[in-house]
């Protein structure tokens, strides 16, 4: 998912996978069609950031996480708000319309606050009720390409003992990914903000560290044999893991959006997701 020419994400692969899954799973078509619109605009944002940031020196790259260029980022924010007003569900359209009326200086402040709350030492520390959920969704959709750019442009972080949080930005894991290795699969976790992957043990709760296999039930739905819920009886949290040894064509970020039946099963059994995906599916 990182083309050699940019060192960044392959949005084309995400868009193609969303189109395919929307046809294969009609119950998820509306979600995936909306995601396709978002991914197309994120691709535009990423290209804009790449053109403005490709000439950064090493010192400037080191500042990408602590001091993002808000002027570069906010310049496309009105266009994304317009896209949501034209293509989003009614509640998203209303929130985008409200944000449109607030103006550039407030957008910059909101994006800066969102960035601090989702990266570095402050990741995950913002009170849940401090930002309206749909506003948070729009800010995340807009900020994520910049987070991916920052992740691609900065050196690998030092190894950390905190396997539960992203070693790059400190955010919680979104999903697990099993990638082929030898005769089996190696488990990695995918960051919910900058989308970096990092190694994780196969038998381990990503939320609390439980490693007793008897307390870590797994559920797989018939529609998605390559995706499973990895739950924990100790903390009652779960992550979904996309198994690329079973479907090498999967794009984990996108396949996770389509796996709605797995969310229903987890909710019915009293499990809470460590981190919801962008569209809350």
Q: What is the pLDDT of residues 97-142, one digit of tens each?
A: 999 999 888 998 888 888 888 875 444 444 454 568 999 999 999 9
CA distance 269 to 281: 16
The pTM of this model reads 0.89
The residue with greater pLDDT, 118 or 228, is: 228
CA distance 126 to 132: 12
**What is the C-alpha radius of gyration for the chain, rounded to an integer number of angstroms?**
18
Q: How far is CA 126 from the centre of its chain?
A: 18
Whose CA is closest to 112, among 143, 79, 151, 154? 143
State pLDDT tens for residues 260-281: 999 999 999 999 999 999 999 9
Helix (H, G, I), strand (E, B) or coil at 63: coil
Mean pLDDT across the stretch 20-39?
97
Q: What crossing angle do the helices spanning 77-87 and 104-118 adopt, rounded to 10°?
A: 90
pLDDT at 113: 87
CB-CB contact of 273 with 266 (8 Å): yes
CA distance 148 to 139: 14
The residue with greater pLDDT, 199 or 54, is: 199
| Length reported for the chain | 281
State pLDDT tens for residues 171-222: 999 999 999 988 778 999 999 999 999 998 889 999 999 999 999 999 999 8
Does residue 235 carry a pLDDT above 80?
yes
> Token digits for 43?
């691709």
Q: What is the mean pLDDT of the chain?
A: 86
Helix (H, G, I), strand (E, B) or coil at 68: coil
Strands (E), 156-280: 173-181, 184-191, 197-199, 218-220, 227-231, 237-243, 272-273
Does residue 3 carry a pLDDT above 50?
no
CB-CB contact of 171 with 124 (8 Å): yes
> Token digits for 197?
């992957």
Helix (H, G, I), strand (E, B) or coil at 177: strand
CB-CB contact of 46 with 148 (8 Å): yes
| Positive or negative: CA dihedral 48, 52, 58, 59 | negative
Question: Which pairing describes strands 227-231 and 218-220: parallel, antiparallel, or unpaired?
Answer: antiparallel
CA distance 189 to 95: 32
Helix (H, G, I), strand (E, B) or coil at 244: coil
The residue with greater pLDDT, 8 or 265, is: 265
Furthest-apart CA atoms within the chain: distance in Å = 56
Distance from first CA to last CA of the chain, Å, rounded? 22
At residue 66's C-alpha, the angle toward residues 123 and 209, to 5°, is 30
């Amino acid at each position: 998912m990182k083309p050699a020419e940019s060192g960044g994400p392959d949005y084309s692969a995400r868009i193609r996978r969303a189109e395919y899954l929307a046809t294969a799973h009609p119950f998820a078509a509306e979600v995936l069609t909306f995601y396709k619109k978002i991914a197309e605009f994120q691709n535009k944002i990423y290209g804009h950031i790449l053109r403005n940031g490709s000439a950064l020196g090493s010192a400037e790259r080191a500042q990408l996480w602590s001091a993002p260029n808000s002027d570069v980022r906010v310049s496309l924010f009105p266009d994304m708000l317009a896209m949501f007003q034209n293509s989003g569900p009614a509640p998203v359209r209303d929130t985008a319309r409200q944000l449109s009326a607030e103006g550039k200086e407030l957008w910059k402040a909101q994006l800066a606050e969102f960035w601090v709350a989702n990266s570095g030492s402050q990741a995950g520390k913002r009170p849940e009720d401090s930002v309206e959920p749909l506003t948070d969704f729009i800010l995340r959709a807009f900020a994520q390409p910049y987070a991916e750019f920052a992740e691609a442009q900065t050196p690998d972080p030092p190894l950390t003992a905190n396997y539960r949080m992203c070693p790059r930005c400190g955010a919680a894991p979104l999903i697990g990914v099993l990638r082929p290795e030898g005769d089996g699969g190696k488990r990695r976790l995918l960051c919910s903000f900058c989308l970096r992957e990092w190694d994780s043990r196969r038998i381990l709760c990503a939320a609390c560290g439980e490693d007793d296999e008897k307390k870590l039930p797994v559920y797989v739905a018939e529609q998605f044999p390559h995706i499973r819920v990895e739950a924990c009886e100790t903390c009652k949290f779960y992550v979904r893991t996309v198994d690329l040894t079973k479907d090498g064509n999967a794009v984990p970020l996108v396949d996770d959006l389509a796996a709605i039946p797995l969310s229903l099963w987890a909710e019915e059994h009293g499990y809470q997701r460590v981190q919801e995906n962008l569209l809350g599916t």
